[in-house]
Chains A and B, each alone.
Chain A
């Protein structure tokens, strides 16, 4: 059910939501709404919507920026950090798109932005069509690359928007992992098909092998997945690919244990890292990353592949170079897109 704060009824995003023919109810505030994932609240929140990804000094990070227009996700991934990070289950959507647009326009240098950090960028786009607002704005700008990151195949709004600096990226995992741990998401086949469809409409696409999950036969599973992907997608339309293994702060581990169904996610060789997060033991992690990286590289020789929050020694072991600190790392993206 969609709930709309009465003070934002006249905003553009709310009007577009109403036009999508979804049932809705006007409320005074969030206290009138049952706090569950099936409820969407279009609210009057005004805060810093655009933030640089927090990152850490110990592990290599880029200068990606997040737009937190939506907080919460209809999907129910067992490993999702939001279950530990957000204090609510309902999906809260800021309707203050004017401020977001103003902020996006204010950037001077080349910036990569995305809306898939505190939510799935496209899961609800048929109901709350943020794409229709932001894509035309990004199309006017030369220094912004905007990424929609998703585990859905919900791309219909994007097909008539003539993209310029837009990347649509899909998180990928083997289907057996998707069906076990990525509840309510689209099948991996649907995601790959959606990527292929978007390419026909002029989009660049990206793929995130994140999190790569340890299961006994991970080599076989990820190699098969990549075989399927590379047979259906043309390398020259891929903007980037990220790879990273499952990692979790203590709060997420606690949450996974209490949620009971998914505790086998933790039944593997995990250690506490210097940034406080738990990761797979390094030699195992490197082996998992190499499996994915080498399988991709065997088919796609030139696509830009990076690791999210990995140690420079892991980069050296797998790819043979260290991307350097944030600014230097970011140039690797800039070189691939803005030139």
Chain B
């Protein structure tokens, strides 16, 4: 084999036939990536973009790290990424997005590893590319301890780094790290007041659907076989004073009630 397009991360899943592309008298392994113990099928192709398309089509799913490997092959060989189908399929249609993907290969090890396990939104990956080396190391530390964390939680963590980057510059990640709460003391007080009243009136609950934007407080309960209507009336009556106090407290904080 005198050309290489090994983009797959780790060992390739082996199929009975080893496909080889022949382009301008150079041979490229498309799926077994340099293992020699299978029957070979040589396909004559016009260009490397076609070879990549064929190779990628033999595997699914493809992680962001593998996508970055493909981007590197495209970049190293001066190919047109718009002719490599996987990029359009993953909605990578602009130079900016392509460069974001290409950049993944430069991320620290645990970030790259996480990207083989979970699919982060492209915007989160783009944010990581804007981080300094120190901030990427901080995120890497987080993934070392939390490699299985959901992508939603990872996205929030990355957003928080972006928002608090000035304070985090040069900081080393320590297990159990938590971001400073951005809520005002009043907001925290209001949240706590709701938690306190809800612990008293369970299974009823008092909440806000929209952070009080519409100036409404929701008091909710379900009447069913276990919880009769009378039960809720009793709860309301026995907590009437506390509920009124809560409403006055919320009014005092200009929430529009």
Contacts and interface: CB of A to CB of B under 8 A. Distances in A.
Interface of A: 58, 254, 257-258, 260, 263-264, 266-274, 279, 281-284, 286-287, 311, 313-314, 316-317
Contacts of A257: 127, 130, 159, 162-163
Interface of B: 123, 126-127, 130, 159, 162-166, 182-184, 186-187, 190, 210-215, 253-256
A281 B215 contact: no
Contacts of B253: 283
Nearest to A266: B163
A258 B212 contact: no
Nearest to B162: A257
Given A257-B159, A274-B213, A313 B182 contact: no
A270 B165 CA distance: 17
Nearest to B255: A282
Contacts of B254: 282-283, 286-287, 314, 317
Given A263-B166, A272-B211, 11 more contacts: A254-B123, A257-B163, A260-B130, A263-B162, A263-B165, A264-B166, A274-B213, A283-B254, A284-B186, A286-B254, A316-B256
Given A267-B182, A274-B213, A260 B165 contact: yes
14 contacts: A257-B130, A257-B159, A258-B126, A260-B130, A267-B163, A267-B164, A271-B213, A282-B256, A283-B253, A283-B255, A284-B186, A284-B187, A313-B214, A317-B256
Kindly list the 5 A-B residue pairs having the minimum CB-CB distance in the complex, ordered from nearest: A313-B256, A313-B215, A286-B254, A271-B211, A257-B162
Given A258-B130, A311-B213, A317-B256, A283 B190 contact: yes
B141 to A, nearest CB: 20
B182 A282 contact: no
Given A257-B127, A317-B254, A281 B210 contact: no
Nearest to B179: A267
A268 B182 contact: yes
Contacts of B211: 271-273, 281-282
Contact of B214 (A58, A254, A271): A58
Contacts of B163: 257, 263-264, 266-267
A283 B123 CA distance: 31
B214 A311 contact: yes
Given A267-B182, A271-B211, A281-B211, A258 B187 contact: no
Contacts of B255: 282-283, 313
B210 A269 contact: no
A243 to B, nearest CB: 15
Nearest to B189: A283
